[in-house]
Amino acid sequence: MSYNKIVEGTPGDEKFFLGNEAIARGAIESGIDVYTYYPGTPSSEIGEIFSEIFKKVGMKWVESSINEKVAIEVAGAAYARGATVMVGMKNVGLNVASDPLFALATTRPKNKNSALVILIADDPQQHSSAVEMDSRNYLKIFKIPALEPSNPQECLEYTKRAFQISREIKLPVILRTVTMVSHSRSNVTIGDIKESEMDDNFDLSKEVNVASRIYFLKLKEDQIYHRMRLALELSENSSLNQIKNENEKNEQELGIITSGVSYSYVNEALEFLNLKAPVLKIGFINPLPEKLITSFLRKFKQVIVIEEMDTFMETQIMAIAQMNGLELKIHGKNPFSFDNKQGILSMIGELNPTKTALAIQKITKIKPRIDLEYIFGKKYETVGRKSIMCPGCPHRTTGFALQKAIKKIKSKLGKEVYFFQDIGCYTLLSYPPLSFANMKYCMGSSIALAQGVAHTSDSLNVAIIGDGTFFHSGIPALLNGIYNRAPILVLILDNGWIGMTGQQPHPGSDVRHYYDGKFKNKIDLGIFLEGTGANVSSIKRVETKDENYISKLNDLIYNRGSDVLKEKNLQIVLIQDECIQKVVKREELTKRKVDVELCNNCGVCYNQFLCPVISEADEVAYIDLNECLGCGICEEICPSNAIKGEINNEVK
């Protein structure tokens, strides 16, 4: 995909942008110098955009960092020396970045052009996440400003405003989006592209950049009582906070306070209900504009607060009402009851117009134009779709071999086997029928989780982790296991890319096969692992050139697992098999076909290997050639030799 459209056009032109594309454009219109990130849906596109265009727009540096902690440290130093910087990640990435960010938030660069925007993409309903998490809760800890756009046009405008605020008050500014904003698309009016204003001369005075006992408390005092005070004044007077339908009246004397994508839901809900109500739309979400909120609350007998996920605004609005002696009913999610019957909205899952309308209906008792309860409760008959790996995915091959190896270990050695999963495409191995998962927390946790059981049990404990996740946060846990002689089997599934978020590169990716690889050095994962002094076994598959690969992999896993049980040591198996989606972009593989004269319909290919493009038809196996990518594993595992690349007989 080409992202030239992000930089093309003249001011005033309209572009049909994703929210993420609009954010990238807003950063370019702010004179961005540096962008660092770790790919994570729903934020990934922004990093891909900058990786392609950064030279065209005169940026100094773009990198897909090894993890979010490193990303924010690289960005923080560039910010300190006077650069205009953005760092991007998804919600759970902020957990990884939180340690350095706490210190970074207190620092106060002396350079005029220093500006730092931190893009955090939340994922309500955890469409692409291991957990559902509201990143706004960190704002109470970091004490930094935050903005939240509600549509792609605001993504561009709020990005520019975030840079302006950071540059003015010398605090990082968080730009919070959610999936339905990052991945929505609409017309966006673009402005001028701004050139860098970074000065080659810069000041890195230690008294404003060093988090230590000598300087920290003074910096913290300045942060809270001066810079955040300035942020509050900006929030109170910001055009990002607006009262919509200000002069409208309703019988219930109801006002609505909302932010972000929830504002769009509110507008649709009011239309459903044919209700007119003033709406306070808050775009400057931290610090909240206390005076504006107080003035708004005074006008009503009741207010409903509508926001995605937690009660970040609702809790503060309740406090503002109490502090100002206001007597009114504040509806929402009821943050203090922990009772889903007490609130009219849930803190779990994603909002939508129907949920929003039903919540307002509970207050107003208005009979809507359409039966909202019916719509909300309607169960649509759709074709069921399992969560499956891509056709030709190397992790399916690993899962097939692992299943056989574990069965052999259990029967011959009589030991229980437990699996500790991580975050990546291979997480799908945890689903039935393979079910290779007993525990999973977060990125990089599998290896340490396996150690916790291994030190307290004589079972075989298998950690399953991908190459990208290993580089991200698996290395410390592996070193801990080696140091403490943990008797575990570590399977590192090296497909060469960060597959789950779109095949982005990592330090072990082949630099020949991605756009900015010419600026990178590849780290050989095998050599790296050997350097730890651990017991490392490697196996590598090359499509169309490797016979009996599954048998070799099966034997390797069985032997190394047996070694763990017998010798009580840590064993690593590095399984190198490139992501099929990257392979087929470079070369055309031979699609397989079924020789119906040889097929006995044993079902190994579609019932055991579970290839999604193979099914049963007319009592033989059938391969959908429109979907087959040509990995060739089915040919290897067919006990009847009925699957081949070239067949002259009748084929399926």
d(CA 406, CA 424): 22
d(CA 151, CA 185): 8
Identify the pLDDT of residue 211.
85
Omega of the bond leading into 145 within 30 degrees of 0 (cis): no
Identify the pLDDT of residue 245.
93
- Per the CB < 8 A criterion, the answer to whether 188 and 75 are in contact is no
Per-residue pLDDT of 270-323, as tens digits, reads 999 999 999 999 999 999 999 999 999 999 999 999 999 999 999 999 999 999
4-236: in CATH 1.10.3720.10: no
Per-residue pLDDT of 389-429, as tens digits, reads 999 999 999 999 999 999 999 999 999 999 999 999 999 99
On the CB side of 334, CA atoms within 13 Å amount to 12
Per-residue pLDDT of 475-491, as tens digits, reads 999 999 999 999 999 99
d(CA 634, CA 652): 14
CB atoms within 10 A of CB 10: 9
Per-residue pLDDT of 188-222, as tens digits, reads 999 999 999 999 999 999 989 888 888 889 999 99
- Per the CB < 8 A criterion, the answer to whether 619 and 532 are in contact is no
Tokens of 497: 């890319």
- Interval 72-77 mean pLDDT: 98
Identify the pLDDT of residue 385.
73
212-216, 255-259, 590-594: the lowest-pLDDT one: 212-216
Say which CATH topology domain 242-377 has.
Answer: Rossmann fold (3.40.50)
Average pLDDT value for the chain: 93
Domains of the chain, residue spans = 4-236, 242-377, 394-586, 593-644
Omega of the bond leading into 149 within 30 degrees of 0 (cis): no
Confidence category of residue 432, pLDDT binned at 50, 70, 90? confident
- Per the CB < 8 A criterion, the answer to whether 203 and 110 are in contact is yes
pLDDT at 650 over 60: no
CB atoms within 10 A of CB 15: 18
Confidence category of residue 652, pLDDT binned at 50, 70, 90? very low
Helix, strand, coil tally for the chain in percent (to 5)? 40, 15, 45
**Strand ranges inside 315-429, DSSP E:** 329-331, 417-420
pLDDT at 497 over 80: yes
Q: Taking the domain 593-644, which CATH number applies?
A: 3.30.70.20
Cα-based angle 34, 35, 37 (whole degrees, multiple of 5): 150
- Beta strands 571-576 and 489-494, pairing class: parallel
pLDDT at 495 over 50: yes
Per-residue pLDDT of 19-60, as tens digits, reads 999 999 999 999 999 999 999 999 999 999 999 998 899 999
Identify the pLDDT of residue 142.
96
- Per the CB < 8 A criterion, the answer to whether 368 and 362 are in contact is no
**Strand ranges inside 184-328, DSSP E:** 185-189, 242-244, 254-259, 279-282, 284-286, 302-306
200-214, 319-333, 569-583: the lowest-pLDDT one: 200-214
- What stretch of H or E contains 36? strand 34-37
- Per the CB < 8 A criterion, the answer to whether 120 and 176 are in contact is yes
Confidence category of residue 1, pLDDT binned at 50, 70, 90? low
Burial 524-545 (b: 16+ CB within 10 A, else e): ebbebbeebebbbebbebebee
Tokens of 187: 């017309």
Q: Which of 141, 222, 135 is nearest to 177 (CA)?
A: 135
Tokens of 383: 């074709």
Identify the pLDDT of residue 514.
85
d(CA 506, CA 508): 5
Identify the pLDDT of residue 74.
98
pLDDT at 543 over 70: no
CATH topology identical between 242-377 and 593-644: no
- Interval 517-522 mean pLDDT: 88
Question: What percent of the chain has pLDDT above 90?
Answer: 84
d(CA 342, CA 352): 20
- Per the CB < 8 A criterion, the answer to whether 565 and 460 are in contact is yes
Identify the pLDDT of residue 646.
62
Q: Taking the domain 394-586, which CATH number applies?
A: 3.40.50.970
List of long-range contacts for 358-363, beta carbons under 8 Å, 24+ apart: 359/269, 359/304, 359/306, 359/331, 360/254, 360/256, 360/269, 360/270, 360/273, 360/275, 360/304, 361/273, 363/252, 363/254, 363/302, 363/304, 363/331
pLDDT at 613 over 50: yes
DSSP type of residue 431:
S
pLDDT at 125 over 70: yes
Query: Could you tell me which residues come within 8 angstroms of residue 179 by beta carbon, excluding any fewer than 6 positions away?
Result: 41, 42, 121, 122, 123, 124, 125, 127, 128, 350
Residue 339 CA, chain-centre distance (Å), reads 29
- Per the CB < 8 A criterion, the answer to whether 62 and 36 are in contact is yes
Identify the pLDDT of residue 545.
64
Identify the pLDDT of residue 621.
95
Cα→Cα distances 83→77, 111, 199, 448, 519, Å = 9, 9, 8, 38, 21
On the CB side of 60, CA atoms within 13 Å amount to 20
Identify the pLDDT of residue 544.
63
What φ, ψ does residue 487 adopt, rounded to 5°? -80, 80
pLDDT at 648 over 50: no
Helices 152-169, 228-236: inter-axial angle, 10-degree rounding? 140
Q: Is 513 exposed, middle or buried (0-12, 13-18, 19+ CB in 10 A)?
A: middle
Identify the pLDDT of residue 339.
85
